[in-house]
Amino acid sequence: MNEQERLINDLVIANRILANENVCDAYGHVSIRNPKNPNTFFMARSLAPELVTRDDIVELDLEGNPINEESRHLYLERFIHGSILEARRDVMSVVHAHAEEILPFGIADGTPLRPVIHAGSFIGAHIPVWDIADRFGDTNLLVANVEQGRDLAQTLGENNVALMRGHGFAAAARSLIEVVRMSVYLPRNARALSRALHLGGNIKSLSQGEIDARNRGYKPYSPETWRAWEYWANKCGCGGMLTRPDED
Amino acid sequence: MNEQERLINDLVIANRILANENVCDAYGHVSIRNPKNPNTFFMARSLAPELVTRDDIVELDLEGNPINEESRHLYLERFIHGSILEARRDVMSVVHAHAEEILPFGIADGTPLRPVIHAGSFIGAHIPVWDIADRFGDTNLLVANVEQGRDLAQTLGENNVALMRGHGFAAAARSLIEVVRMSVYLPRNARALSRALHLGGNIKSLSQGEIDARNRGYKPYSPETWRAWEYWANKCGCGGMLTRPDED
Amino acid sequence: MNEQERLINDLVIANRILANENVCDAYGHVSIRNPKNPNTFFMARSLAPELVTRDDIVELDLEGNPINEESRHLYLERFIHGSILEARRDVMSVVHAHAEEILPFGIADGTPLRPVIHAGSFIGAHIPVWDIADRFGDTNLLVANVEQGRDLAQTLGENNVALMRGHGFAAAARSLIEVVRMSVYLPRNARALSRALHLGGNIKSLSQGEIDARNRGYKPYSPETWRAWEYWANKCGCGGMLTRPDED
Amino acid sequence: MNEQERLINDLVIANRILANENVCDAYGHVSIRNPKNPNTFFMARSLAPELVTRDDIVELDLEGNPINEESRHLYLERFIHGSILEARRDVMSVVHAHAEEILPFGIADGTPLRPVIHAGSFIGAHIPVWDIADRFGDTNLLVANVEQGRDLAQTLGENNVALMRGHGFAAAARSLIEVVRMSVYLPRNARALSRALHLGGNIKSLSQGEIDARNRGYKPYSPETWRAWEYWANKCGCGGMLTRPDED
């Protein structure tokens, strides 16, 4: 397997994990920047993530146009990915999904989402909420063009996650494995915070120093990171597709 | 497959999806109007939706009488379907079910159900609650005759969904695919609203303009709509039964 | 299959359904009175309900002694069943289990459990809470002898369900199918009530007249009752074991 | 199978049960003290518990060093196990995991976790919360060395369970079967307490006398304890691996 084949292979695994871990249902998508050309990225054609195979992966430019001729339908919201990859040169991979547990934090303004469990530290201390209506008024809530994508990317700023009001979230990370892990633990962190509220008293979030300490230790192919990727891949039937680029 | 065979095939898929997505359990049913005769409709005989096959589909008139001789038991509540199809000539398909997450909104009067997530927009801005006791006093809560069905249809009015106090919901739409999608996202929207309440602060629902914008863009066989139908059908083991009428 | 074989067959199905519907886990049990001898009943030897087969069924007298010589371990809490069957000659079948959703109603005294959904009507308007400590002080909370069983039966009285503080519930009904159905919908009714509380406002429970109307219509082998039994049996892999005694 | 083979066999079963019962995901681990050498213990190499087989089990000393030469990665947090086994000579087995339902009790200080259901009695009346920041300041929250392990063990003291703020729990017991059972019912007890709060009124916890009565009756191979182990092992596909040491 050459580098690009491996990348596409991993992107298929990521799609299946996100479906199996209830981050995506029929909707939601994950992308990865082309390591050989920072101005293009790969993602699936319009298809439920659970059904994605290698042949469904297409290459797009940062404005969402397919690099090769393409007759198949593309995700309407591919602009989320292109715009974030355009604005954030440090980001290699983006997820957009509607995981149920995060939706309330984009609807109610009483409790900001913040990391309360160590596995949630990677979402970062500040998670902005983007409301498409603020600039675009009454829409169908979808990020359906470059202008909307760039507006979302601007709200995301230097953070790792933005909530989208009444819709879902966008997460950005330095690697595919990292963005998948962030997307799996984001709803779990949301659930822990929501339930902690219910118990009353003071809520102890992770401190900035703790978030920083965890970030310093992060490596995409550390045994601890790999353990989760390997586990999730096996759970969704993709154990046989695993490759580990740092161990060739 | 001719048109009617395809319709019955799709109705079987709809039954299985509603069971697999926890909209129905042993109870609940889905119907579709006969496209060649607006005064009849198709639904299963009395059987749990997960077990429905083509041979279980029967044709009924709008008062719930079988068109062909039928010795098998019919759903007691087939009048829900007949009465809504009678009152609403724009409606092609009806679901009645007891999905758990919507039940609280028919029991407590403190928080009206309303769309808060984009996938829930199709339930519409207003969701009336029908209480069978208002007109019929102490009953077994089932819609067991034409008079009760028509009373429910009157409460539904021009809306897409009515809650039934202590019982469940009825949803009506322009196509089978649409009513299934609405029935799957109705409980998820209910859950998002319920959890958002818990977080405190203001709750931002979808505006009427957003609901309208989404309705304008809706097409039953758009890639986005099809994506969900294809995904849910595959999840419940009906992937091999899929046909796409607009692509013949 | 003769009557007793059919009865034991149905008892195995009931065990498997209760496990598969999350009413029981490793613990919990279901019994049925011997139709030929009202002073004995059948239940499994000490075994998780999901693993019960025909050979695991034993016959006990109302004080919990095995009718035939038995070297295998018996459920410690078989006295729940014997004592209820002793006190209530109208009851044919008993379930004891620890379904999670009902536990809070036996721990907190702020909200009495009551039927709020039509499928929950069979639990009855009044559900007493039995606290073993009231009469027996500090115990291991298990109903481990006839005296404790009779005390529980006395609290149950003429009701269909009693909660057991910090422990679980006991349900009693006129048939095996009925007690299984009651045990499946009991936790769902509890969940609906708990979530309705969260929405605020007035909670509308089923009226006594509605409960009575539903009871009047109940028949253990009606198409509606059978539909659930057939569905649950198929879901837990026991579809092939189904027999329908009223259709011989 | 000799004693050590049986012990390793049981440790594999324990790993699989903890994964299947949602106590562990990719993370979390279980250990058992070497019965022939109280200064060493067995646990898996760094691997998701669901994927653990006999060959993945390694022997470590109480400071977390492998007894035999080992090139494979070890769990970063093996010090939790070593330090508790060092401080508590009565303890034979330790679990550390992040089960979701217990997390809120380590984040919010409004409601202490305590046993409210009989199956939760073994967690004990007092469950201290250990905050790694109290002594070590801003860390990545992992127990990554002997000093941190010993600090946790000191907070655990003579209790059975300690919560770890923003992270998870550590449970200690006299046998592997007991620690697994405690770890499965710990989150369920947490959920019951959390939901009971929601119902309002007084919450009735287990009394110290009840906890003591249950402890007095506990035997690791009683029919009641075995029933759960047998059930959980079967559910996770390890039924064929079961051995019962007391019945040779």
Place of tokens 């253990």: C220
**Which residue in A199, A206, A219 has the most chain D C-beta atoms within 10 A of its own C-beta, making it the best mutation to test that interface?**
A199
Chains that touch D (3 or more CB pairs under 8 A): A, C
Instruction: Indicate the average pLDDT of chain C.
Output: 96
Distance from CA of B105 to the nearest CA of C (A): 7
Q: Mind listing the pLDDT tens digit for each residue in B125-146?
A: 999 999 999 999 999 999 999 9
Contacts of B142 in chain C (CB under 8 A): 118
Token pair, residue D107, equals 């984040």
Residue of B nearest to A142 (CA): B118
Chains that touch C (3 or more CB pairs under 8 A): B, D
The pLDDT tens digits along chain A (248 residues) read 899 999 999 999 999 999 999 999 999 999 999 999 999 999 999 999 999 999 999 999 999 999 999 999 999 999 999 999 999 999 999 999 999 999 999 999 999 999 999 999 999 999 999 999 999 999 999 999 999 999 999 999 999 999 999 999 999 999 999 999 999 999 999 999 999 999 999 999 999 999 999 999 888 889 999 999 999 999 999 999 999 876 54
Under DSSP, the state recorded for B247 is G
- Band (pLDDT 50/70/90 cuts) for residue D109 is very high
- Band (pLDDT 50/70/90 cuts) for residue C247 is low
**Would you say residue D50 has pLDDT above 60?**
yes
Q: Are D246 and D24 in contact (CB under 8 A)?
A: no
**Would you say residue C121 has pLDDT above 90?**
yes
- B29-34 and B37-44 beta bridge pairing: antiparallel
- Are residues B204 and A73, on separate chains, in Cβ contact within 8 Å? no
Asked if B247 reaches chain C (Cβ–Cβ under 8 Å), the answer is no
For position B157, what pLDDT does the model report?
98
Contacts of D48 in chain A (CB under 8 A): 227-228, 230-231, 234
Asked if C219 reaches chain B (Cβ–Cβ under 8 Å), the answer is no
For position D219, what pLDDT does the model report?
86
Distance from CA of B118 to the nearest CA of A (A): 6
d(CA C96, CA B210): 50
Reduced to 3 states, what is the DSSP secondary structure of residue D130? strand
**Which residue in D23, D218, D231, D238 has the most chain C C-beta atoms within 10 A of its own C-beta, making it the best mutation to test that interface?**
D231
Evaluate whether ipTM surpasses 0.90. yes
C173 compared with D247, residue with greater pLDDT: C173
- Are residues C192 and B103, on separate chains, in Cβ contact within 8 Å? yes
Cα→Cα distances B12→B15, B32, B54, B68, C226, Å:
5, 11, 6, 19, 21
Contacts of A109 in chain B (CB under 8 A): 201-202, 204
Phi and psi at residue D96, to the nearest 5°: -125, 130
Under DSSP, the state recorded for C166 is T
Residue D115's Cβ-side half-sphere holds a number of Cα atoms within 13 Å equal to 27
Q: Are B176 and B182 in contact (CB under 8 A)?
A: no
Token pair, residue B121, equals 């927009």
Reply yes or no on whether B224 is catalytic.
no
What counts of helices (H) and strands (E) characterise chain C? Answer: 8, 7
Contacts of D145 (CB under 8 A, 6+ apart): D79
Contacts of C226 (CB under 8 A, 6+ apart): C177, C244
d(CA C21, CA C32): 19
For position B247, what pLDDT does the model report?
58
Q: For chain C, give the number of residues.
A: 248
Contacts of D26 in chain A (CB under 8 A): 227-228, 230-232
Asked if D240 reaches chain C (Cβ–Cβ under 8 Å), the answer is no
Give residues 30 to 89 of A whose Cβ lies within 8 Å of B.
Answer: 46-48, 50-51, 73, 76
Residues of C noted as catalytic = 77
Q: Are C115 and C189 in contact (CB under 8 A)?
A: yes
Phi and psi at residue B75, to the nearest 5°: -60, 130
- Across D169-186, average pLDDT: 97
The secondary element (H helix, E strand) that includes residue D213 is helix D208-217
Asked if D101 reaches chain A (Cβ–Cβ under 8 Å), the answer is yes
Asked if C188 reaches chain B (Cβ–Cβ under 8 Å), the answer is yes
Q: What is the 3-state secondary structure (H, E, C) of D147-190?
A: HHHHHHHHHHCCCCEEEECCCEEEEEECCHHHHHHHHHHHHHHH
Q: Mind listing the pLDDT tens digit for each residue in C139-151?
A: 999 999 999 999 9
Chains that touch B (3 or more CB pairs under 8 A): A, C
- Are residues D104 and A198, on separate chains, in Cβ contact within 8 Å? yes
Rounded to 10 degrees, the C-alpha dihedral C34/C37/C40/C44 comes to: -20
**Which residue in D29, D53, D107 has the most chain A C-beta atoms within 10 A of its own C-beta, making it the best mutation to test that interface?**
D107
Distance from CA of A75 to the nearest CA of B (A): 8
Q: Are A135 and A63 in contact (CB under 8 A)?
A: no
For position C162, what pLDDT does the model report?
98
